[in-house]
Structures are given as C-alpha cells and as structure tokens.
Amino acid sequence: MEIEKNIEILKACRYCPMCRNVCTSGNLSYHESDYPRGRGLVLDSIYNNNLEYDTDIVNAIYNCFLCGCCWSNCEGNYRMHELIKSARIDIVDSGNAPQVAQEIRSKMLSGKNPFGDDNDAYKAEEKKADILYIMGDNIKFNSHDIPRAVRDLLSKMNIDHTLLNDEPSSGKILGLLGFSKDSRELAQKLYDRIKEIDPKVILVSDPLIYDLLKNDFPSYGFKIAPATKIMHISQYLAKLLKDGKLKLKKSKNRITLLDSEFLGRFNKVYDEPRKILKEIAGDSFVEMRWTKEKALSAGEAAFIFNGRLFSDGHILGEKICKEARDIDTDTIITLSPAAKENLSRCKDIKIVDIAEFVLGQLSQGKK
C-alpha cells in the first residue's frame, strides 16, 4: 500500500481539526470527508480496517485540490497532499480510478487533447537554441495566449528560443491523478527530448511543469545538466530586469498578484514576480489579504476538464476576485494557466498572465 509511506500523516490528521477552516475542498462542499481530518479518517479505515475503496471514498480522495493550504497552516508540518497522492496511486492500483480519470489517461497516452474539448495543440517549429520553452499540457491545449505572449516578449528582446515540435505530454497531470507508472513513462519521453536540445535555460509558464522539472525529474533519476537553469518566466524576467536587459514602462494602475501553489507554496518562488510588478507599478502594486504560503488556492492541480472532474475551479476564482475587490484593484496578475482560467469568469476584474502583462509594459529590448 502506497499510503503506508505516509502513515505518520494519516495518524496525525485523522483526529485533528486544526486546519479545517482553510481547506479549499471542505469549504466548498462542507462534507466532512472533504476536509483533511475526514480524509485521514477514511484512509485510516482503509489502512487499519481493510475497508475497500468505494465510490464515496474515491470521491473524497479525488475532490482534494492538492493545494497544500492545510500544510501551510499545520503546526506539525504534515503534508496531507502527499498522503492524498499516495492514496490515489492505491486507488489506481486497485482498479477503482474514476471513469473520467481513466478517460483522461487514455487520451493522454495516445497524445490526444485530454481536456474534453476540441482545441488543437499549440504548434511551433523546433530548432537548436539556448532557451527551451516548455508549455505543458494545459497551455498546449487550453492557453495559447500565454506562449504567444512569451514568444512575442522574447522575440522583441531578440532572445533566441525554441519550443519542442509536438511537445510530448509531461505526465504531470497523470501523476497527480494517481497513474504513477504512466506518468513516469511520459516524463521520460519529455526528458529525452530536452536532452536532444541540451538548452542552457528551460523556461516554463506552468508551475506544474516547474514542479515536474525541479522535483519529479530528480525523483525519477532524470538528470538535467547542472549548467541548465530551470526558470519560471517570472524568474527569467526578473533576472533580465536585474541585469538591466529589460526596460519597462511605469503604470499607476492598481494591480495585485496571485501567488501560485506549485511555484510558491511548493517551490518558494515569491520574490521575483513581485520585483517585476513593483518595478512597473511602484506603490500601486498592492497585496491581497492572503499572500505567499497563505494564498488562497486557485485550483492549480484541479485542471480544466470541462467540469467533468474538479468543476469548482471558478468558485475558487470568485473567492480570489473578492479579495482583489476588497483592496480596490481591478487587475490580478497570475502565474499559471489554471489560475488565469479559473479566475476568468470574474468579469469586473482583469486577469492577466505575467508574460502578457510584461509584454504590454515593454519599452525597449535587450541592450
């Protein structure tokens, strides 16, 4: 049993109510089994009482947003999201994965759009270049405006770059859904393609891909060359700014930033996006009430599957937009495609990816 590896988390959480007020899923459904303690209790029944995974338990495990809000508020530093990930592996191994997750798997393994719509993949020519931009599945199929903005930015600054022709699925989404073997096999294909390019910088906009490259690849034994830097676009732009290679127009519009779960909470990247936004907006850059490790979840690991799985992303988005209204700003800068998508139903607030925002403020190229 995979959950055995996280048995200490199970023991700690099953009788603990301390983080229930911050649990993203529990505060949407108000079902006891959608809070950390409830999940701990059902997994305790599986582990200690040999209960089988039935539909209710499977739903409780797949309803988790893997956001880590509970961990950020846990005095004992217990990573409930890791316990949930291991439970999903056990569910898959026992043949009880939700039907929709199985459909997603089969589409991903056959290279098709797994998101339940007809969007084509974003296409680009591959060439040798020092900078390799990796989209990830969500951007590849759902958020073409983000790679367009990134490429436009790089081109305007005369920075040579490439994308992968027919970029393979990273496997990250399948990993989060519990298909660990498939996930690793897909990641291997991406790793092999990266090695062919041998870039100096791997650039990403999707924090899920950042997390994959930074944490999953080493755990799989995949070794990115030590000289190769893995950077989120916000880190890369902050570095250009620091080196005097990025000149930005000032703005007096009040803007705020939504921290990313997989970039911030799980990888501690908080400062670089702020440096860019403060350079542009100065004192007009304002913080929402909940920031950094305490930021509200935008459902980054909840994907966009046309409401078939994780259909509550837009409700999370509305909660965040309310925070922005409370500080009198009408613009939220986002750091992930999922956050941008999940906030986009707030019609009175502009939701702008950081690359799009910087592109609009570019005043001159690289020196």
Binding segment for ligand SF4 among 13-21, 203-211, 274-282, 353-361 (CB under 6 A)? 13-21
Q: Does residue 41 contact residue 114 with C-beta atoms inside 8 Å? A: no
Bin 60: left if φ > 0, else alpha if -120 < ψ < 50, else beta.
alpha
Per-residue binder mask for ligand SF4 (CB under 6 A), 216-255, x = binder: ----------------------------------------
Report which DSSP code applies to 5: G
Is 67 a binding residue for ligand SF4 by CB under 6 A? The answer is: yes
Q: Which residues from 25-64 bind ligand SF4, rule CB under 6 A?
A: 25-26, 36-37, 64
Residues whose CB falls within 8 Å of the CB of residue 97, separated by 6 or more in sequence, listed in order: 58, 88, 91, 105, 177, 178, 179
Binding segment for ligand SF4 among 68-76, 241-249, 318-326, 342-350 (CB under 6 A)? 68-76
Nearer to ligand SF4, 53 or 141 (CB): 53
Is 68 a binding residue for ligand SF4 by CB under 6 A? The answer is: yes
SS3 203: strand
Q: Does residue 53 contact residue 96 with C-beta atoms inside 8 Å? A: yes
Least separation, in Å, of the C-beta of 341 and ligand SF4?
Answer: 18
Binding segment for ligand SF4 among 72-80, 217-225, 278-286, 354-362 (CB under 6 A)? 72-80
Q: Which residues from 281-310 bind ligand SF4, rule CB under 6 A?
A: none
| Identity of the amino acid at 198 | D
Distance of CA 335 to the CA centre of its chain: 9
Nearer to ligand SF4, 21 or 106 (CB): 21
Phi–psi pair at 230, nearest 5 degrees: -105, 120
Nearer to ligand SF4, 81 or 172 (CB): 81
Per-residue binder mask for ligand SF4 (CB under 6 A), 80-119, x = binder: xx--------------------------------------
Nearer to ligand SF4, 26 or 175 (CB): 26
Is 18 a binding residue for ligand SF4 by CB under 6 A? The answer is: yes
Residues whose CB falls within 8 Å of the CB of residue 303, separated by 6 or more in sequence, listed in order: 115, 138, 173, 309, 310, 338
Query: Where are the alpha helices (H) located in the chain, listed in sequence order?
Result: 7-13, 26-29, 36-49, 55-62, 69-72, 80-93, 99-109, 137-142, 145-156, 172-176, 180-197, 207-211, 217-220, 233-242, 271-281, 313-326, 337-343, 354-361
CA atoms of 189 and 153, how far apart (whole Å): 28
Residues in binding contact with ligand SF4, number by CB under 6 A: 24
Give the C-alpha distances (Å, rounded to integers) separating 38 from 207, 331, 353: 28, 36, 35
CA atoms of 296 and 290, how far apart (whole Å): 6
Is 163 a binding residue for ligand SF4 by CB under 6 A? The answer is: no
Least separation, in Å, of the C-beta of 215 and ligand SF4?
Answer: 16
Taking CB under 6 A as the criterion, the residue among 58, 70, 288, 349 binding ligand SF4 is: 70
The CB density around residue 159, as the number of other CB atoms within 10 Å, is 19
Is 339 a binding residue for ligand SF4 by CB under 6 A? The answer is: no
Least separation, in Å, of the C-beta of 294 and ligand SF4?
Answer: 12
Is 13 a binding residue for ligand SF4 by CB under 6 A? The answer is: yes
Binding segment for ligand SF4 among 11-19, 53-61, 110-118, 137-145 (CB under 6 A)? 11-19
What does the binding site for ligand SF4 look like in residue numbers (CB under 6 A)?
Answer: 12-13, 16, 18-19, 23-26, 36-37, 64-71, 74, 76, 78, 80-81
